[in-house]
């Protein structure tokens, strides 16, 4: 690895116990990353994520938006040439960092990503279950981000992961396709990572069928040949369609009293279902519980897969390339749009910051929606009334023009409300009020709470620091601007 190159680690986490095991295996490596960012992707982050096994790890809130959003938060927060993406359920062998550095050193400037080899330990004393065999398939998966190092320049060139993929397994395939089409090479390295099989239950395979909706998005974005291009196995969806069609035909024929057709359709459905079940049961341990689970899920999986695929095709019928265009900008009020007057309840004290009128006018001319998300704890403290807050907001509109949505949190810091920034409630509510997805929205604010609220909601963010912005908040912000006008230029210049 060249002296100028550096690497850092990003770990999206759901707070599983395996996170501690991963961090412990990272802490004992001979070579340490320049930074470790753990993105807490739990929907309920009311309790702190335990990263004590790696005390210097920095924790960001992902807001439960899924692994694509969490990884984007992580790599954008780094100041390193390489972002090593590591899942929270893998274990790093003791020589992992040595091999990682060797892989990075061998990578030429045209290499955008380096995948680790995955090893999935299976039981030595019995045949693996269906779930265990499915996990073992990761050993053959192409471009799996269970552990993959991406050059940050490559990620930036394609705007990172597509956050419309809410689950794992397809967001990494989509990223790989876009990175390669942008001219980068993706290679497999020589380092090894261990991926133990997570505990599960008999119905896990049924829940996995939700991924068929993601396949519909892959087809929309990359065409019908996406499986071959992304080196992904095609799966059984065509057979599931036939099985489901046979079952639907049998039901319709019975209702129509067409008994011969019903009999043929039932026979076809039964043969297809039994074939599917046998293929899943035969290589397994064949215990009573496993056999019953395979029989039950083999009946339920085909129609479930088809329904998810149809739902995904409808949901993504108009999907375009990532990133989607920015369609709205939400501003913090005090310190961002207007001069910060602590606990202000007097409209006469409202003064727009320099360039505010021009900035919001530029957004309106560009056809973007605009709104305000503002904490007003003075109401909870009894220092101003809600009516006074509304009068101040009205004065802001008098000076800057109308806004499409206003979101005001009147609660105090200790009220535990879901709307007060850095919680995501106001940003999510504003997006819903405008009829938009959070990833179509940018939040512009002056402190870290504005950025954190945006990221927790799934929106983008631009920080415009001022005298009350902490140095750590400035350093942590993935995107910064010197003035409000520069922030708007960033938004308009990077709408895609």
Active-site residue list: 332, 334
For the four alpha carbons of 454, 457, 458 and 459, in that order, the dihedral sign comes to negative
The tokens of 387 are what? Answer: 């009516």
Helix (H/G/I), strand (E/B), else coil: 383: coil
The number of helices, as runs of H, and strands, as runs of E, in the chain is: 18, 12
How far is Cα 157 from Cα 177, in angstroms, rounded to an integer?
13
SS (H, E, C) 87-128: CCCCECCCCHHHHHHHHHHHCCCCEEEEEEEEECCCCCCCCC
How far is Cα 107 from Cα 364, in angstroms, rounded to an integer?
46
How far is Cα 115 from Cα 189, in angstroms, rounded to an integer?
6
Helix (H/G/I), strand (E/B), else coil: 173: helix
The tokens of 208 are what? Answer: 């996995």
Q: For residues 452 and 61, is the Cβ–Cβ distance under 8 A?
A: yes
Nearest to 332 by CA among 458, 493, 440, 451: 451
């Amino acid at each position: 690895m060249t002296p100028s190159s550096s690497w850092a680690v990003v770990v999206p986490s759901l707070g599983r116990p395996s996170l501690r095991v991963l961090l412990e295996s990272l802490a004992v490596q001979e070579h340490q990353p320049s930074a470790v960012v753990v993105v807490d992707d739990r929907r309920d982050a009311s309790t702190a994520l335990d990263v004590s096994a790696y005390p210097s790890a920095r924790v960001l809130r992902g807001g439960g938006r899924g692994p694509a959003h969490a990884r984007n938060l992580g790599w954008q927060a780094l100041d390193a040439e390489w972002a090593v993406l590591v899942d929270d359920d893998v274990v790093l062998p003791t020589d992992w960092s040595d091999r990682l550095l060797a892989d990075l050193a061998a990578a030429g400037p045209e290499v955008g990503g380096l995948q680790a080899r995955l090893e999935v330990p299976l039981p030595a004393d019995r045949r693996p279950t269906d779930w265990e065999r499915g996990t073992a398939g990761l050993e053959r998966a192409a471009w799996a981000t269970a552990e993959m190092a991406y050059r940050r320049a490559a990620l930036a060139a394609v705007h990172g992961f597509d956050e419309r993929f809410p689950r794992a397994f397809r967001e990494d395939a989509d990223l790989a396709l876009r990175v390669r089409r942008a001219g980068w090479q993706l290679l497999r390295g020589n380092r090894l990572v261990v991926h133990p099989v997570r505990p599960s239950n008999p119905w896990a395979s049924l829940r996995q069928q939700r991924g068929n909706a993601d396949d519909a998005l892959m087809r929309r974005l990359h065409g019908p040949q996406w499986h071959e291009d992304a080196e992904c196995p095609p799966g059984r969806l065509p057979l599931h369609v036939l099985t489901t069609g046979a079952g639907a035909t049998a039901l319709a024929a019975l209702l129509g009293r067409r008994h011969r057709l019903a009999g043929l359709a039932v026979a076809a459905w039964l043969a297809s279902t039994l074939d599917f079940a046998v293929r899943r049961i035969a290589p397994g341990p064949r215990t009573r519980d496993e056999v019953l689970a395979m029989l039950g899920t083999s009946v339920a999986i085909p129609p479930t897969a088809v329904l998810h695929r149809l739902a995904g095709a409808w949901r993504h019928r108009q999907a375009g390339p990532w990133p989607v265009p920015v369609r709205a900008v939400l501003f913090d009020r005090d310190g961002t749009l207007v001069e910060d007057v602590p606990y202000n309840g007097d409209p006469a004290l409202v003064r727009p910051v320099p360039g505010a009128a021009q900035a919001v006018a530029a957004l309106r001319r560009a056809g973007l929606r605009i709104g305000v998300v503002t904490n007003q704890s003075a109401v909870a403290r009894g220092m101003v009334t809600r009516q006074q807050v509304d009068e101040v907001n009205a004065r802001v509109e008098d000076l800057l023009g109308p806004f499409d949505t206003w979101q005001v949190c009147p609660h105090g810091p200790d009220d535990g409300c879901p709307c007060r920034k850095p919680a995501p409630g106001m940003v999510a509510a504003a997006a819903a009020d405008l009829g938009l997805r959070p990833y179509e929205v940018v939040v512009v604010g002056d402190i870290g709470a504005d950025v954190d609220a945006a990221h927790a909601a799934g929106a983008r963010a631009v920080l415009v620091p001022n005298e009350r912005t902490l140095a750590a908040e400035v350093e942590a912000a993935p995107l910064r601007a010197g003035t409000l006008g520069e922030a708007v230029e960033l938004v308009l210049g990077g709408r895609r």
